[in-house]
């Protein structure tokens, strides 16, 4: 046993050395396309897509689309992700979302509108991809450099695959659209997308586009600046009524967090209590009888993982060491 352990440690040590060497040069480049390629080898190549082909996320007032939209208006189901103050608020219409793949590989493209424009205008204010490998748990996050700062937006008629070296003539290049890995890391995606890859809110749930993998492995194992991200854990307690349908993640889902780019964010779990579980028909008293203790237990365990009765478990795959070997193996990643 002791012998095995020391051999294991030697192996780990070599792995760390190797990964330091491989990623060291990558980090200097901080290149969006290299990141796209690393994600493609862990997960899959994303296809090019047209934002306008996506399903519109409806923005309604009292159940109907208003005759006119105005900046900072109220609506039935606002987008939850905070937008920059200079933009037009959470009720801007005509964001578009599309499932690009939903098998062992899940890929989704989201084109957010943060400024009011005509329905079929091709410009969008934040273009985002999440890609996820259900077998290994690998998850990658991509976002456009522009996040509502430039009111012109980006032309979304051909969103280039993040791994594409050069676009067809006259089309937008991946390096011009996509944020570099460091810039993506600075957005802190994992803090919110911590229970599983997919965030569900009443806004996006109006579409039929969201993949789901509620109990699958979930880890950002692409290396580079993402090594600085905390690893989300599953927070649970015995007989908990909230965790029967999905996990509760240990970062912003269960507790408030200071998130890069977005600042202090309240727990998603308590934000969600007005609509969780979906379609629940209990009265307030009955709801409290079923769920209140469970929510309190999760909050307590979130704040202190060592607190009695708390089950805090990793959600990355057990095979992550072999996956990491594949990434740093130059033959496999084509480097």
What's the Rg (C-alpha) of the chain? 21
Q: Applying CB under 6 A, which of residues 128, 297, 316, 323 lies at the interface with ligand HEC?
A: 128
254 near ligand HEC, rule: CB under 6 A: no
User: What minimum distance in Å lies between the beta carbon of 235 and ligand HEC?
Assistant: 11
Cα 276 to Cα 200: distance, rounded to the nearest angstrom: 11
> Contact region for ligand HEC (CB under 6 A) — 31-39, 98-106, 127-135, 321-329?
127-135
Q: Applying CB under 6 A, which of residues 201, 206, 256, 320 lies at the interface with ligand HEC?
A: 201
User: What minimum distance in Å lies between the beta carbon of 331 and ligand HEC?
Assistant: 29
Query: Taking a C-beta distance cutoff of 8 angstroms, is the pair 226, 147 a contact?
Result: no
Helices (H) and strands (E) in the chain, counts: 9, 11
Measured in degrees and rounded to the nearest 5, phi and psi for residue 300 equal -65, -45
Q: Applying CB under 6 A, which of residues 269, 302, 310, 315 lies at the interface with ligand HEC?
A: 269
User: What minimum distance in Å lies between the beta carbon of 208 and ligand HEC?
Assistant: 12
Task: Decide whether 87 or 129 has the Cβ nearer to ligand HEC.
Answer: 129
- Which candidate, 325, 270, 319, places its Cα nearest to that of 298? 270
Using alpha carbons only, give the angle 317, 323, 328 rounded to the nearest 5 degrees. 145
Q: Applying CB under 6 A, which of residues 199, 302, 315, 327 lies at the interface with ligand HEC?
A: 199
> Contact region for ligand HEC (CB under 6 A) — 115-123, 184-192, 229-237, 316-324?
184-192
| Unique residue bearing structure tokens 């456009």 | 144
Task: Decide whether 22 or 112 has the Cβ nearer to ligand HEC.
Answer: 112
Residue 33 three-state SS: helix
253 near ligand HEC, rule: CB under 6 A: yes
125 near ligand HEC, rule: CB under 6 A: no
Task: Decide whether 24 or 176 has the Cβ nearer to ligand HEC.
Answer: 176
Residues near 281 by Cβ (< 8 Å), separated by ≥ 6? none
Cα 309 to Cα 329: distance, rounded to the nearest angstrom: 41
Using alpha carbons only, give the angle 110, 115, 119 rounded to the nearest 5 degrees. 70
312 near ligand HEC, rule: CB under 6 A: no
Cα 198 to Cα 36: distance, rounded to the nearest angstrom: 20
Q: Catalog residues that contact ligand HEC under the rule CB under 6 A.
A: 79-81, 108, 110, 128-130, 141-143, 184, 187-189, 191-193, 195, 198-201, 203-204, 210, 212, 214, 241-242, 244-246, 253, 259, 262, 265, 268-269, 272, 276-278, 291, 294-295
């Amino acid at each position: 046993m002791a012998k095995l352990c020391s051999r294991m440690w030697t192996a780990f040590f070599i792995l760390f050395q190797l990964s330091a060497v491989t990623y060291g040069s990558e980090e200097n480049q901080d290149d969006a396309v290299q990141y796209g390629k690393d994600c493609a080898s862990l997960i899959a190549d994303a296809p090019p897509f047209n934002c306008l082909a996506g399903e519109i996320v409806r923005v309604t007032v009292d159940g109907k689309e208003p005759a006119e939209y105005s900046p900072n208006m109220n609506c039935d189901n606002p987008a939850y992700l905070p937008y920059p103050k200079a933009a037009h608020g959470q009720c801007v219409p005509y964001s578009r979302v599309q499932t690009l793949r939903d098998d062992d590989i899940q890929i989704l493209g989201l084109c957010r509108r943060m400024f009011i424009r005509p329905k079929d205008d091709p410009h969008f204010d934040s273009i985002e991809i999440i890609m996820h490998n259900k077998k290994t748990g690998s998850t990658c996050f991509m976002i456009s450099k522009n996040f509502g700062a430039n009111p012109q937006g980006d032309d979304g008629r051909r969103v280039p695959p993040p791994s594409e070296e050069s676009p067809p003539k006259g089309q937008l290049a991946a390096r011009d659209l996509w944020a570099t890995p460091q810039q993506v890391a600075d957005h802190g995606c994992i803090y919110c997308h911590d229970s599983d890859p997919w965030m569900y809110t009443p806004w996006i749930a109006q579409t039929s586009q969201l993949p789901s993998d509620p109990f699958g492995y979930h880890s950002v194992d692409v290396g580079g600046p993402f090594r600085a991200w905390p690893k989300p854990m599953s927070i649970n307690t015995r007989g908990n009524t909230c965790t029967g349908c999905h996990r509760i993640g240990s970062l912003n889902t269960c507790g408030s967090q200071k998130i890069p780019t977005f600042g202090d964010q309240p727990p998603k779990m308590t934000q969600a209590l007005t609509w969780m579980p979906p379609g629940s028909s209990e009265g307030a008293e009955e709801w409290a009888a079923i769920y209140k203790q469970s929510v309190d237990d999760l909050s307590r365990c979130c704040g202190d993982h060592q607190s009695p009765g708390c089950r805090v478990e990793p959600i990355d795959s057990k095979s992550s060491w072999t996956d990491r070997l594949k990434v740093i193996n130059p033959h496999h990643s084509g480097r």
